[in-house]
Amino acid sequence: MQSTESFSKVRSIVGLAVLSVLLIAAGCGDSDGTIEASSPPTSEVDGSRPGAQVELSDEFCAVLDSPDAPTNLADLAPEGYEDASAALVLLAQVFDDSTSQGPAGPRLAKVADALGAEGIDTDLADLAASAAAPGSCASADSAALLGSFSVVARFAQADALDDYCALLDGGFGAASDGQEPDPAAWAAAAPPEHRDALEGLDELMAQDQPGADAVATASGTFFGLGLYAEARCGIDGAFSNAAVAGAMFGVAAGSGGVSGGSDDPSSDASASAEPSAADASAAQALVPAGDDLAFVTEVVALQDDDSFRASLVVPDGWDVDTGFDRTYEPPTGSGLSIFTELAFSAGCDGMCEATTWEPRLRGPDGYLTAFVGDATADERPVTGSDGTVVVVRDDDGSVKAAVLRWDDAQPRYFQCTVSLETDQAAWLDAFVAACESSRPGWITVT
């Protein structure tokens, strides 16, 4: 993976968390539908000050907004903010040197020291406030990125605590085994610099529709936890794992799925229906010759209350993360990218009630609109029910796909998404077949 793509991935993780909430809020009547720049961290989550405003030059904004690693950001920074900008450059360099398995651990200690220096957190909050100001030359994504890393900087200020590190190893390390984040337990063992943010994250995870500002800060909390866990505690891979957890929190918050939703009609007969058996043979037949990839079936509930059950076709032996969606990831040590995954959910796009799904999903605030974005997509109808298969290819050779089934009489649609990095792109047909072969119990598939 090239360096520019790596740093762009960081921006996308933060942007995805914020954008998902902004899109859903507009669709649910919480705003006028205009997507505006996110504010920097506020006391809603962790008590941080909103940040003073400083003047950002067009050159500074151009570098900040670029997908390229911002190597000269410190040279263009406002007076007094050079050290904060230099810390971000160090972070970008870590991603420059990353492999498909994520940032290199030894470099993260240097990043943590730079971000954790006195005053860097407040300097980044100032830059975030300036980037988010009306008429700023910076983009909303850049404002969210700066705001998130002002939170990360406060996490980097703390020294390692053995008991706390052990808990984080269970959340983000090789021993995590798909465990859900437990910020309340972490806060009890955490150093003082972390407690307010973790307590705020625990409160947010209990909400159905947290605001976009809060989600931006929560993304920073996940980044901060990952940086601390890998740089201070020595937990390999924790930074990448925590970053992905932050992105998934944003998606779940935007879809109303953080706590399952109080308006979720999971007691309906359709929500408790048992699925017909899925068949893995179509997916298996499309695995390229010689590749060590096998598919199996399993029946699971896609909601925490054992509702919306489905029979899924999934890769045999892959790790499972049930924090938000049910996500299948390559086994630890397999050498496959952490951004290669197959995920299933019972989506509702902020509605969670029977509706005419296609115009909702394709509308300006709909899931499919956000999934495709500005890219050119290949699309065809899904077999056996109402729905669609959408494939989006990136210039770097990576590919993503979404397979959706819906029934306008049902409160949720069935969603299966595929993300494959360049080296695994040849698996696309097999993974899409796995999605189409899976069977949701609440939607009839012929």
Domain extent listing, the chain: 3-254, 269-440
**Hey, what are 216's tokens?**
């931006």
Q: Classify the C-alpha dihedral 160-164-170-171 as positive or negative.
A: negative
Given a contact cutoff of 8 angstroms between Cβ atoms, the answer to whether 257 and 344 are in contact is no
Give residue 306's region: left, alpha or beta (phi > 0; psi -120 to 50). Answer: left
CA-CA distances (angstroms) from residue 408 to 329, 413, 442? Answer: 31, 9, 11
Phi, psi of 131 (to 5 degrees): -70, -30
Q: State percent of the chain over pLDDT 90.
A: 46
More confident residue, 34 or 345: 345
pLDDT greater than 60 at residue 315: yes
Query: Strands 326-329, 341-347: parallel, antiparallel or unpaired by DSSP?
Result: antiparallel
pLDDT greater than 90 at residue 239: no
Q: What is the per-residue pLDDT for 108?
A: 86
Least confident of 111-115, 265-269, 280-284, 289-293: 265-269
Residue type, 47: G
Quick: pLDDT tens for 45-97: 333 445 677 899 999 998 888 766 677 889 999 999 999 999 988 877 765 54
CA atoms of 386 and 333, how far apart (whole Å): 39
Which residues, in sequence order, are bridge partners of residue 439?
311
CA atoms of 136 and 183, how far apart (whole Å): 34
pLDDT greater than 90 at residue 4: no
pLDDT greater than 60 at residue 30: no
Given a contact cutoff of 8 angstroms between Cβ atoms, the answer to whether 431 and 295 are in contact is no
Q: What is the per-residue pLDDT for 223?
A: 83
Count CA atoms closer than 13 A to 239's CA, side-chain side: 27
CA atoms of 217 and 367, how far apart (whole Å): 23
Angle value at C-alpha 23, between 301 and 218, nearest 5 degrees: 70
Q: What is the CATH number of domain 269-440?
A: 3.40.1000
Q: What is the per-residue pLDDT for 33?
A: 29
CA atoms of 237 and 382, how far apart (whole Å): 36
pLDDT greater than 60 at residue 257: no
Given a contact cutoff of 8 angstroms between Cβ atoms, the answer to whether 148 and 221 are in contact is no
Collapsed DSSP state (helix, strand, coil) of residue 3: helix
**Hey, what are 287's tokens?**
């695995």
Q: Look at residues 276, 288, 212, 181 and name the one whose alpha carbon lies nearest to residue 24.
A: 212
Quick: pLDDT tens for 156-194: 999 999 999 999 988 888 655 555 678 889 999 999 999
CA atoms of 162 and 150, how far apart (whole Å): 25
pLDDT greater than 70 at residue 29: no
Least confident of 10-14, 165-169, 295-299: 10-14
Altogether, the residues listed in the chain come to a count of: 446
pLDDT band at 410, cuts 50/70/90? very high
Least confident of 223-227, 255-259, 404-408: 255-259
Query: Terminus-to-terminus CA distance in the chain, angstroms?
Result: 41
Q: What is the per-residue pLDDT for 13?
A: 43
CA-CA distances (angstroms) from residue 393 to 3, 21, 62, 194, 260? Answer: 19, 24, 26, 39, 31
pTM: 0.52
pLDDT greater than 50 at residue 40: no
Q: What is the per-residue pLDDT for 390?
A: 97
